[in-house]
């Protein structure tokens, strides 16, 4: 019974012919590093990340300067302000509708 000889991993003399030019032989770490360093300069530069918005920058400063309790209180207060403004707009709109209806009925009689 004959056993087939085992090729060592670093043997590049018997590498398959279908290997592309510049590709490292299997197990050849130094050739892989050399190839990677040659092609690294050929890659296009990565785009810069977008600049943060003003609100994002302010929120980051708020996070940095204020504790979580103050931050929550400030957000709750701002939410209340927005709700008050919305109710005020609704009140004015309702007042205009009521005035228009009362003017229409007073002219009709």
Radius of gyration from C-alpha coordinates of the chain: 37
Residue 21 DSSP label: T
pLDDT of residue 40: 53
Q: What is the pLDDT of residues 9-19, one digit of tens each?
A: 555 555 555 55
Q: What is the pLDDT of residue 79?
A: 97
Nearest to 12 by CA among 35, 28, 32: 28
62 closest CA partner among 73, 51, 46: 73
Tell whether the model's pLDDT for residue 1 goes beyond 70.
no
pLDDT tens-digit map of 33-84: 555 555 555 677 788 877 778 888 888 887 788 777 888 888 899 999 999 9
- Residue 38's pLDDT is 55
Give dist(CA 26, CA 11) in Å, integer. 9
Residues 9 and 25: their CA atoms lie apart, in Å, by 9
């Amino acid at each position: 019974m004959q056993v087939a000889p085992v090729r060592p991993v670093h043997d590049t003399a018997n590498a398959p012919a279908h290997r592309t030019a510049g590709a490292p032989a299997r197990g050849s770490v130094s050739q892989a590093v050399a190839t990677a360093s040659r092609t690294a300069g050929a890659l296009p530069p990565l785009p810069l990340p977008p600049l943060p918005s003003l609100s994002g920058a302010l929120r980051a400063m708020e996070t940095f300067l204020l504790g979580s309790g103050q931050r929550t209180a400030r957000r709750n207060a701002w939410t209340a302000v927005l709700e008050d403004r919305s109710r005020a707009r609704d009140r004015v709109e309702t007042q205009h509708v009521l005035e228009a209806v009362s003017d229409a009925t007073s002219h009709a009689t």
